[in-house]
Each structure stands twice: as structure tokens, then as C-alpha cells.
Structure 1
Amino acid sequence: MTEPTAQACVEVSASAERVYALVSDLPGMASAAEEFTGGTWLDGASGAAVGARFRGSNRRGWRRWSTTSTVTDAAPNRFAFEVKSFGLPVSRWQYDIEPGAGGCTLTESTWDRRPSWYLPITVLGTGVRDRVAQNQRNIEVTLERLKAAAES
């Protein structure tokens, strides 16, 4: 796999299990993430498992859009999913959790998977011209919120 297009990490004074429970929980992530506002498990899924799909709702200002994601990793040290919009690849999001003394390190990464011809369409839909820079800012905010939630 290529290098992520955006990535950051944070030290969390909470167990890896607690952090995994937060990043793999759709309502929990909706309260922490910058653009993700919620999701619904599809096809009878009720939680994070490899192959489970969910429809995610997103918002930036007055713009709203939805995506369909498929969970690719659901292990104690990693939660990841591939995102599609209108059947087209959009991104991969990944949360790596490394246990350590007194807590863990949480790394959030994303890979932009949009075809080049699709970029102008997503700019119109989301209002974001520089998705890589925006995702970097979003990840930093999200990690701080996840840290606060895990440590509370």
C-alpha cells in the first residue's frame, strides 16, 4: 500500500480496548469526527466486522453527502474501511492502536482513492478544494476529541 495522504497520531492515557471501542463505534465517531455525522450498518450488520458495510452521513457547512463503506480490518489493534460514493472508490480510513505503558498510541490515516476525473465533482459536493490538507486538519481535530473521550 502507498503512503497515506494524511496521517497523525496521539498518545492516549486509556486502554487500547477502550480506544478501539470508540473508533469502531459509528455514533462515537460521529461525536468525534469533523465531517462524519453518523452512520447506519447495512445488510443486517450490527457492528464492526470484516466485510460489514455502513452508510455514512457527512456534513461540511451546508453541504451534506453520504458514502458507503466496507470494513476491511476489525482487530484489536486496527479498524479500517474503504469508502465509496456512487460506486466509485473515494478513500481508505485506518485507525492503528499500539498498546504502551499507561495507555496506547492511536494513529489515524487516510488514503485518497478518487479517480482524477472525479475530483472536480467532489469539490462541488463537499466544498473542499484541497482534500489532503482538509483531511490532515480533520484528523488532528478528531484525534484530540477521541483522546478526550477515551480519557474521560
Structure 2
Amino acid sequence: MNNKLNPLKTKHDLTLVIDDVSYKFTYKPVNIQTQSELDDFKNKNSLEYEKIDEKRAELKDLKEMKALNEEIVKDVNLIDKAKIFFEQKELLKKISALEKELKELEKDIKNIDDVVEEYYQKQFELCVIGDGKVALQNAIEDAGISYAVINVYLQEALKEAVEKK
């Protein structure tokens, strides 16, 4: 069986051209270990966003309950009004505490675009090896190119390298 996948290679020598300068490096495609590391990074960030989403949903529910109580209080007797006002007081405490907590969480969370960029930079750092790595990385950063964009070019260069075999 003589096809383009034989012999099987786990590393490929590639070239990427940035601003008419060629950068030669070795690319090691994502393997189980690399994917595990990337998944850990992704999961860590996903959990932070999920926590914030849960807190926002809880806050929304509390505010809706408070608004509903404000409507109900208009049409009830004095004893029920007292109960609702007590409940409103507790809701306001919870809302205030939750808003404060959310503000703290959101202050520390990274912008989603930054997280995606960091993910692709991490993938670059794990997969690009060899002598040309530092020069290529400097060229990418000097040109201000997104690692997400670089990943597309790397995947295309890898595809072409595999097809040539």
C-alpha cells in the first residue's frame, strides 16, 4: 500500500512566509498529550464563564421575584404587605451581595477573544518546535498577527506537506 500517508510522520518540516521572509520550523501535530493540555486550558476558562452565567441567571431570577412582589403588594391586605416587604428586604440583600460578587468575578475574567487567542498561542507553543520557532514567533508578534490566523496557515501548510508524501 503506497499512499501519501506512508511513511507515517509525527513531525513535519514546514515553511511559513511573513512579509516576504521565510521561516523554517518543525511542526508536531496535536497528539493526545497536547490535546489534553489544550483541553485543560479550555475547560478551566469554560468553568469561569459558566460560573458567571449561573450568577447572572440567579440575579435575574431574584430581580424578577422582586418585581413580581412589587406588583402583588399593590393588591393585598396590610398583613400580607408586611410579609412581602420583609421578603423584599431579604431579596434586596441577596441582589446586592450577588451584584457585588458578579462585579468581582467579571473583573478577573478575561475577554473571550483574549482567551481564544491565548488558546491558539498555547497550541502554537506546543506544536511548533525547532530552531526557527523563536524567529517565527517574533515575526508573528512584530507583525501583530493573531495566533488564530497563524493556526489556519499552519494547518494548511501541514495539509500540503502530508499531501506531498
TM-score, length-scaled by structure 1: 0.26
Q: Which has the larger radius of gyration?
A: 2
Q: Indicate the structure with greater strand content.
A: 1
TM-score, length-scaled by structure 2: 0.25
Q: Indicate the structure with greater helix content.
A: 2
Q: Which has the higher contact order (CA 8 A, sep 6+)?
A: 2
